């Protein structure tokens, strides 16, 4: 799919007077032309560094595929921003924190970071549970929190917003939620496997897994009328033995098996499923499966449906079409000897959305903006990222396209990649519910044949 760049009119509308230029040779980093303020309006820009706290899983089962890559990306981006002048001339001072320990631990840490350490912004959270516990603190404590990866769609989909100032609060999310993953999978299955009759699901037994299955099941039943759900399995987090689950899936007769298993759980399940022959009987559809071929290596089976949590893929957009992705992939690979995975792209989005929002707000107020002004400036913001265009909606949720593909072993790579001939990109309007409408309600409103013309 060809990415459409923002025109001048749309750019000015979304970014005020801020000029957001991103990328190598004019693409990386951003510049801003601050409008001339009156004497009464003029503000100074502090000479102290910007204090940023980044929070990801640095230990435990989610560290290797998610937390550490995300943290690595933060460090790389901070170095690039500081090298190119910082944000409004202020350099970034970043400190990494571990997300392990549960929601209670993260609430205590966030309180300390905001009230005692006086950080300018927290960029964090992979766990949806941690996100739901911490993000409301943005208003309670007056701290700016940007959720960079957590995917629960219900975070801001209550009938009444849990946040106060502005409408959706200080906190916002710089990536799209799980709606795009599971709607994207359903659209892909409809496109490539329209005659499917039987599906199953194996998802972790907590909100992330159940929410992911709910959205997928709702969407696939709308898109493929008559499809039969033959098995639903709910293993506990950190299960080490999936043999009984795999046997049940093999015996179910399912043609496609949906899964939101993540981190070490997804790797353990995949390795055990390979040994038991599951992939000879059915194909998996992983809602955020993009990191796992690289984690498992050449043993990872071909023909599995993989969603990239957006268009976050080291081979998309193509390097010759999108120089910013070329820079991001090459720089990350040179620095860490791995290809960036979707958490790396999410980390980039969080820190560059913060940068762009600061610069947009500064262009309007004539100096360094308050946290409230930064948060307000984020709504409606669109920026270029290595993955394409990211927009922050009025509901403070990120909105982006989604890439889904199928695994294939290709010469030159030590793990299966997405088959270049069977990758599909579904635009944001097809897989993100509009602001103010719950994702499930939006899917239920689809008419027969929607998005399939």
For the domain that residue 199 is a member of, what is the CATH number?
3.40.50.2300
Domain identity same for 212 and 343:
no
Tell me, yes or no, whether 2 lies in a domain: no
Domain identity same for 61 and 121:
yes
Last residue of a domain, one of 399, 418, 433: 399
Is the pLDDT at 452 greater than 90, yes or no? no
Tell me, yes or no, whether 1 lies in a domain: no
Domain identity same for 200 and 219:
yes
Is the pLDDT at 3 greater than 70, yes or no? no
Is the pLDDT at 23 greater than 90, yes or no? no
Tell me, yes or no, whether 451 lies in a domain: no
Tell me, yes or no, whether 39 lies in a domain: yes
Domain identity same for 312 and 326:
no
Count of domains observed in the chain? 2
Domain identity same for 170 and 37:
yes
Give me the torsion for CA of 234, 104, 124, 91, rounded to 10°. -170
- pTM to 2 decimal places: 0.89
The rounded percent of the chain whose pLDDT value lies above 70 is 87
pLDDT in tens, 295-312: 999 999 999 999 999 999
Is the pLDDT at 160 greater than 70, yes or no? no
Q: What is the pLDDT of residue 158?
A: 61
CB neighbourhood size of 434 (10 A)? 12
CB neighbourhood size of 134 (10 A)? 26
Look up the domain containing 288 and give its range: 179-316+402-444
pLDDT in tens, 97-126: 999 999 999 999 999 999 999 999 999 999
Domain identity same for 435 and 395:
no
Tell me, yes or no, whether 449 lies in a domain: no
Q: What is the pLDDT of residue 37?
A: 47
Is the pLDDT at 25 greater than 70, yes or no? no
Domain identity same for 161 and 254:
no
Q: How confident is the model at residue 450 (pLDDT cuts 50, 70, 90)?
A: low
Tell me, yes or no, whether 452 lies in a domain: no
Is the pLDDT at 288 greater than 90, yes or no? yes
Domain identity same for 165 and 72:
yes
Two structure tokens written together for 220:
């696939």
Q: How confident is the model at residue 4 (pLDDT cuts 50, 70, 90)?
A: very low
Tell me, yes or no, whether 450 lies in a domain: no
Contacts of 240 (CB under 8 A, 6+ apart): 268
Last residue of a domain, one of 379, 399, 419: 399
Average pLDDT over residues 337-348: 98
Q: Is the dihedral angle over the CA atoms 356, 136, 134, 107 positive or is it negative?
A: positive
Domain identity same for 219 and 308:
yes
Domain identity same for 171 and 213:
no
Compute CA distances 399 → 165, 319, 382, 390, whole Å: 21, 23, 9, 6
Tell me, yes or no, whether 71 lies in a domain: yes
The dihedrals phi and psi of 446, each to the nearest 5 degrees, come to -60, 140
pLDDT in tens, 35-91: 444 444 578 999 999 999 999 999 998 999 999 999 999 999 999 999 999 999 999
What burial letters (b/e) apply to 79-96, b meaning 16+ CB within 10 Å?
A: ebbbeeebbbebebebeb
Query: Distance (Å, rounded) from C-alpha 232 to C-alpha 13?
Result: 46
Q: How confident is the model at residue 32 (pLDDT cuts 50, 70, 90)?
A: very low
Domain identity same for 189 and 219:
yes
Is the pLDDT at 28 greater than 80, yes or no? no
Domain identity same for 368 and 343:
yes
């Amino acid at each position: 799919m060809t990415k459409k760049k923002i025109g001048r009119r749309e750019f000015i509308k979304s970014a005020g007077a801020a000029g957001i230029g991103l990328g190598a040779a004019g693409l990386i980093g951003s510049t801003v032309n601050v409008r001339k303020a009156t004497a009464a309006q003029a503000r100074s820009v502090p000479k102290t560094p910007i204090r940023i706290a980044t929070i990801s899983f640095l230990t435990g089962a989610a560290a290797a595929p998610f937390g550490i890559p995300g943290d690595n990306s933060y460090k790389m981006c901070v170095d690039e921003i500081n090298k190119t002048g910082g944000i409004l001339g202020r350099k970034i001072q970043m400190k990494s924190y571990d997300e392990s320990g549960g929601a209670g631990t993260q609430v205590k840490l966030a309180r300390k970071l905001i009230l005692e350490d006086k950080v300018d912004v927290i960029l964090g959270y992979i766990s949806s549970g941690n996100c739901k516990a911490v993000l409301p603190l943005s208003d309670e404590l007056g701290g700016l929190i940007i959720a960079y990866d957590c995917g629960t769609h219900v975070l801001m989909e209550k009938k009444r917003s849990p946040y106060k100032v502005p409408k959706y609060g200080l906190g916002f999310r710089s990536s799209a939620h799980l709606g795009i993953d599971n709607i994207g999978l359903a659209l892909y299955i409809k496109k490539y496997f329209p005659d499917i009759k039987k599906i199953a699901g194996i998802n972790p037994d907590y909100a992330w897994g159940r929410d992911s299955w709910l959205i997928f099941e709702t969407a696939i039943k709308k898109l493929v009328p008559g499809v039969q759900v033959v098995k639903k399995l709910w293993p506990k987090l950190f299960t080490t033995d999936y043999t009984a689950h795999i046997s049940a899936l093999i015996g179910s007769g399912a043609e496609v098996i949906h899964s939101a298993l993540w981190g070490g759980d997804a790797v353990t399940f995949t390795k055990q499923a390979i040994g038991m022959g599951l992939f000879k009987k059915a194909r998996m559809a992983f809602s955020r499966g993009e990191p796992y071929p690289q984690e498992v290596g050449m043993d990872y089976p071909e023909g599995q449906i993989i969603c990239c949590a957006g268009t976050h893929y080291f081979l998309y957009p193509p390097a010759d079409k999108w120089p910013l992705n070329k820079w991001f992939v090459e720089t990350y690979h040179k620095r860490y000897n791995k290809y960036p995975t979707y958490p790396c792209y999410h980390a980039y989005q969080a820190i560059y959305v913060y940068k762009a929002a600061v610069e947009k707000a500064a262009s309007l107020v004539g100096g360094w903006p308050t946290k409230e002004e930064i948060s307000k400036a984020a709504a409606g913001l669109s920026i270029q990222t290595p993955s394409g265009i990211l927009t922050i909606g009025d509901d403070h949720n990120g909105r982006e396209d989604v890439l889904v593909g199928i695994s294939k072993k290709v010469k030159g790579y030590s793990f299966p990649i997405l088959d270049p001939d069977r990758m599909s990109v579904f635009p944001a309007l097809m897989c993100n519910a509009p602001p103010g409408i719950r994702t499930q309600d939006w899917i239920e409103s689809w008419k027969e044949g929607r998005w399939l013309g």
